[in-house]
Chain A
Amino acid sequence: MTFFHLKTNGNPASAVNEFLGRMLSESLVDAVLVAARTPHSSLPMPALFTDPAKIDAADPLAPAAPFNTARQAASILRHESGRKIALVLRPCEIRALIELVKLKQCVLSDTVIIGMECPGRLENRLFLDRIGEDPDFTNKFYRDPDLRDLACSSCRICTRFMPEGADIVLCTIGQPMNDHIDIASQTPTGADLLGKLNLPEGADFPEREEVIRKMFEIREHARERVFMETAEKTDTIEKFQKYVADCLNCYNCRVACPVCYCRECVFLTDVFSHDPQVLMRRASKKGMIKLPTDTTMFHLTRMAHMAHACVACGHCSSVCPSHIPVAEIFIKVGAEVQKIYDYEPGRDLSEPMPLMVYDKAVIA
């Protein structure tokens, strides 16, 4: 891996923006999809830039993400457009995008994936409060590892914070970001592109590997603890029902989920829109039923449909109006299911989805 320096002069975000702007102005790509501030909010929304003069609004490093951008990326990559598009994504977004390609929701033909090493994101409200108090919050977030504790619960247990599958990596971990950010290529596409930009070459930062290893250990430890606690809270169906007791059946978790790709979810169809007679019959069987019905059924079915592809981005928890820790249980069950198929979502584009292949033991 060859590292190149981006001089930051105390402002890493604008250094990255300048890099993205150069890709546009030197016609290396036709468009860049990157998180950006909008006129009325600091919350970084995915935005598609074609004009390098506008790129200042981009905010690629802000530790917030109102969406898993894979969904937005898929919307511009639905079919081959003949345009070269650079996508600035977090590792969980890259994983989701790879899953969406496998699910035939989009194509990655002429794209450059720029992945950032991701220390985590804050919940929207918390981010807005922090950035409101201190406009320099984003830079501080990268400087001060203690601030990572503010990251949302799923990020604090994320062990896949390095952008596997990216063409170009924005190195943010263990970097003297006040002075420079390192940028490196992981694929020939990335190397070719970086080569054309004539960036100053940099040496690998010696402590980098150690910082990454330490971060991984902390995360892994936290993950095991959360898995254990979650298992304890959900190891019977009654306990699980208590866990999701405040669920409103709003299905926000399913809407936010990047790999819940069905255009029409079965829970919106007549299958679950019961006839009044059915409701009456169910009520009289037990003396009462809660409405809306099928809350437990919804969560278990969603799990059965997507747990093998769960990329652990945590957006299901972020959007829950009842503050149910949805992500913890889905990430934990996802990990269990992925283990039996020896599958890691987003690991490799050429790896088929587990339900699309047959068990070798059966066809032998």
Chain B
Amino acid sequence: MSAFEPRIIAMVCNWCTYTAADLAGTSRLMYPHNVRIIRLMCTGMLDAKYVLKAFLDGADGVFIGGCHPGDCHYINGNLKVVRRISGVARILEQFGFAHERLELKWIGASEGPEFQEHITRFVETIRLLGPSQAANVMIL
């Protein structure tokens, strides 16, 4: 059996974390290839159902990356997502998804190394947690 490779969905803001990912790439910073990045225009547009869908479709972890408080391109979108995420995390926990599988981090556009660091650490966290229960369950 091959070793467990986590499948991570990263939903990141166009104006900061996505740019940071771009910077990490152009700077030749290596980070684990387990991450599939989805670009959002703002974390404020992140609906709970995107996170739920990712987990139900077998994601082992979901990483949300937004602008630092005060830096939002749309003034306060990043502040809006905070409580949404804590609520979803609590709901997922009730059904056996460890809350560590869902993470929200602020990563500015110039923070390529931080992006590398957060993603590397998150992938390791998920690797230790093991595969998500939904990966082998038929979701009805």
Contact stretch, chosen from B3-11, B25-33, B87-95, B112-120:
B87-95
Is B56 an interface position by the 8 A CB rule? yes
How many angstroms from the CA of A187 to the CA of B88 in the assembled complex? Answer: 37
Residue of A with least CB distance to B51: A304
By a CB distance below 8 angstroms, the chain A residues around B134 are: 237
Is B40 an interface position by the 8 A CB rule? no
Contact digits for B71-92, partner A, Cβ 8 Å, 1 yes 0 no: 0000010011011101110110
Do residues B139 and A355 form an inter-chain contact, with CB atoms below 8 A? no
Interface residues of B in 121-138 (CB under 8 A from A): 133-134, 137-138
B115 CB, min distance to chain A CBs, angstroms: 20
**Contact A286-B94, Cβ < 8 Å, known A300-B56, A304-B52, A358-B83:** no
Do residues B95 and A307 form an inter-chain contact, with CB atoms below 8 A? no
**Contact A333-B56, Cβ < 8 Å, known A236-B96, A304-B48, A354-B83:** no
Is A332 an interface position by the 8 A CB rule? yes
Do residues A340 and B86 form an inter-chain contact, with CB atoms below 8 A? yes
How many angstroms from the CA of A333 to the CA of B90 in the assembled complex? Answer: 8
By a CB distance below 8 angstroms, the chain A residues around B76 are: 358
Do residues B79 and A362 form an inter-chain contact, with CB atoms below 8 A? yes
Is A121 an interface position by the 8 A CB rule? no
Do residues B56 and A336 form an inter-chain contact, with CB atoms below 8 A? no
Tally of A interface residues using CB under 8 Å:
36
Is A225 an interface position by the 8 A CB rule? no
Do residues B95 and A234 form an inter-chain contact, with CB atoms below 8 A? yes
Residue of A with least CB distance to B87: A337
A226 CB, min distance to chain B CBs, angstroms: 14
Do residues B79 and A340 form an inter-chain contact, with CB atoms below 8 A? no
**Contact A336-B79, Cβ < 8 Å, known A238-B133, A295-B140, A300-B52:** no
**Contact A304-B95, Cβ < 8 Å, known A286-B138, A341-B83, A358-B76:** no
Do residues A336 and B97 form an inter-chain contact, with CB atoms below 8 A? no
Residue of B with least CB distance to A288: B138
Which of A235, A237, A296, A355 touches B84 (beta carbons < 8 Å)? A355
- State the majority secondary structure of interface residues on B: helix
By a CB distance below 8 angstroms, the chain A residues around B48 are: 301, 304-305
Contact digits for B22-58, partner A, Cβ 8 Å, 1 yes 0 no: 0000000000000000000000000011001100100
By a CB distance below 8 angstroms, the chain B residues around A213 are: none
Interface residues of B in 94-111 (CB under 8 A from A): 94-97
How many angstroms from the CA of A245 to the CA of B76 in the assembled complex? Answer: 40
How many angstroms from the CA of A363 to the CA of B69 in the assembled complex? Answer: 7
By a CB distance below 8 angstroms, the chain B residues around A240 are: 95
By a CB distance below 8 angstroms, the chain A residues around B139 are: 237, 241, 296-297
B68 CB, min distance to chain A CBs, angstroms: 10
Is A212 an interface position by the 8 A CB rule? no
A197 CB, min distance to chain B CBs, angstroms: 45
By a CB distance below 8 angstroms, the chain B residues around A355 are: 80, 83-84, 87
Residue of B with least CB distance to A293: B140
By a CB distance below 8 angstroms, the chain B residues around A357 are: 83
B90 CB, min distance to chain A CBs, angstroms: 5
Taking each of A241, A304, A305, which has the highest tally of chain B beta carbons within 10 Å of its own beta carbon? A304
By a CB distance below 8 angstroms, the chain A residues around B140 are: 241, 245, 290, 295-296
By a CB distance below 8 angstroms, the chain A residues around B94 are: 231, 234-235, 332-333, 336
B59 CB, min distance to chain A CBs, angstroms: 13
B9 CB, min distance to chain A CBs, angstroms: 15
Which of B82, B93, B137 touches A241 (beta carbons < 8 Å)? B137
Which of A245, A337, A359, A363 touches B90 (beta carbons < 8 Å)? A337
By a CB distance below 8 angstroms, the chain A residues around B91 are: 300, 303-304, 307, 333, 336-337
How many angstroms from the CA of A171 to the CA of B121 in the assembled complex? Answer: 59
How many angstroms from the CA of A355 to the CA of B82 in the assembled complex? Answer: 9
Is A308 an interface position by the 8 A CB rule? yes
Do residues A237 and B95 form an inter-chain contact, with CB atoms below 8 A? yes
**Contact A362-B52, Cβ < 8 Å, known A300-B91, A304-B91, A340-B87:** no
Do residues A362 and B82 form an inter-chain contact, with CB atoms below 8 A? yes
Do residues A236 and B133 form an inter-chain contact, with CB atoms below 8 A? yes
Closest 6 CB pairs of A and B: A304-B48, A236-B96, A358-B79, A301-B49, A300-B52, A295-B140
Q: A237-B134, A363-B69 are in contact. List 15 more A-B contacts (CB 8 A).
A: A231-B94, A234-B94, A235-B96, A237-B56, A237-B137, A286-B138, A295-B140, A304-B52, A304-B87, A304-B91, A337-B90, A340-B87, A355-B83, A355-B84, A362-B79
Q: List 12 A-B contacts (CB under 8 A).
A: A235-B94, A235-B96, A237-B97, A237-B137, A238-B137, A241-B140, A286-B138, A295-B140, A307-B87, A354-B83, A358-B79, A358-B83
